[in-house]
Amino acid sequence: LQKLIHLLQATDDPLIQEQALITLSNSAAFSVNQDIIRNLDGLSVIGGMLSNCVPKVKEKALNALNNLSMNIKNQEEIQIFITQVCRTVESAPLNSDVQLAGLRLLTNMSVTSDYHQKMINSIPCFLHLLSEGTEKTQIQVLKVLVNLSANPAMTRHLLRAQV
């Protein structure tokens, strides 16, 4: 895992970045690896890939963070990327793999109300995706909205959103 994280930092080759992110994502299926990746500063390295301009690399970084977000301690670190993930969901092509990967990560990060405030500005985007997206996108957006709606503090923001 350490070598993969270092490789991810050291290369500019999108194909190598994509493969390293896929391997890290698969490794994150095991809880012991989730802790190891966090302790090796892998979350910030993977999060840094969110600014990559290659869509496949960005998608694989979102998938890796999604798998790593199943751990509460990891969520505490991943939460710093929520605003960037929301911007990525808003700017990605409609129904794209990048958009869906971002929505899946936001679904996991919104299971508890700890980070809902960071998603408020994206509520109009979520509602737009609900009306314009494919069924796959709509289902993923609904998961985020259901999680947000479970928090009474979000009611006003959900009802006042301009669509």
| Mean per-residue pLDDT over the chain, rounded | 97
- Cα–Cα distance for residue pair 51/41, rounded to 1 Å: 17
**pLDDT at position 133 over 80:** yes
pLDDT band at 162 (very low <50, low <70, confident <90, very high): confident
- Last residue of a domain, which of 79, 112, 142? 79
Average pLDDT over residues 85-109: 98
Quick one: 148 and 137 in the same domain? yes
Average pLDDT over residues 30-43: 96
pLDDT of residue 159: 92
- Cα–Cα distance for residue pair 68/21, rounded to 1 Å: 12
pLDDT of residue 118: 97
Quick one: 72 and 142 in the same domain? no
Quick one: 70 and 25 in the same domain? yes
Quick one: 42 and 66 in the same domain? yes
Torsions phi, psi for 133 (to 5 deg):
-80, 170
Domain residues for the domain of 68 are: 1-79
Quick one: 4 and 51 in the same domain? yes
pLDDT of residue 51: 96
Extended beta strands in 63-146, E state: none
Number of domains in the chain: 2
pLDDT of residue 107: 98
pLDDT band at 49 (very low <50, low <70, confident <90, very high): very high
Residue at token pair 């959900």: 158
Give percent of the chain above pLDDT 90.
98
Quick one: 58 and 89 in the same domain? no
**pLDDT at position 45 over 90:** yes
- Cα–Cα distance for residue pair 120/161, rounded to 1 Å: 9
- Cα–Cα distance for residue pair 33/25, rounded to 1 Å: 10
Give percent of the chain above pLDDT 70.
100
Quick one: 56 and 106 in the same domain? no
Quick one: 91 and 157 in the same domain? yes
Average pLDDT over residues 71-76: 96
pLDDT of residue 13: 97
Closest CA to 85 of 95, 75, 98: 98
- Last residue of a domain, which of 33, 56, 79? 79
- Cα–Cα distance for residue pair 69/14, rounded to 1 Å: 24
CATH number at 23 reads 1.25.10.10
- Last residue of a domain, which of 79, 110, 129? 79
CA atoms within 13 A on the CB side of 12: 0
- Cα–Cα distance for residue pair 135/72, rounded to 1 Å: 30
pLDDT of residue 163: 74
Quick one: 23 and 66 in the same domain? yes
**pLDDT at position 64 over 90:** yes
Quick one: 74 and 117 in the same domain? no
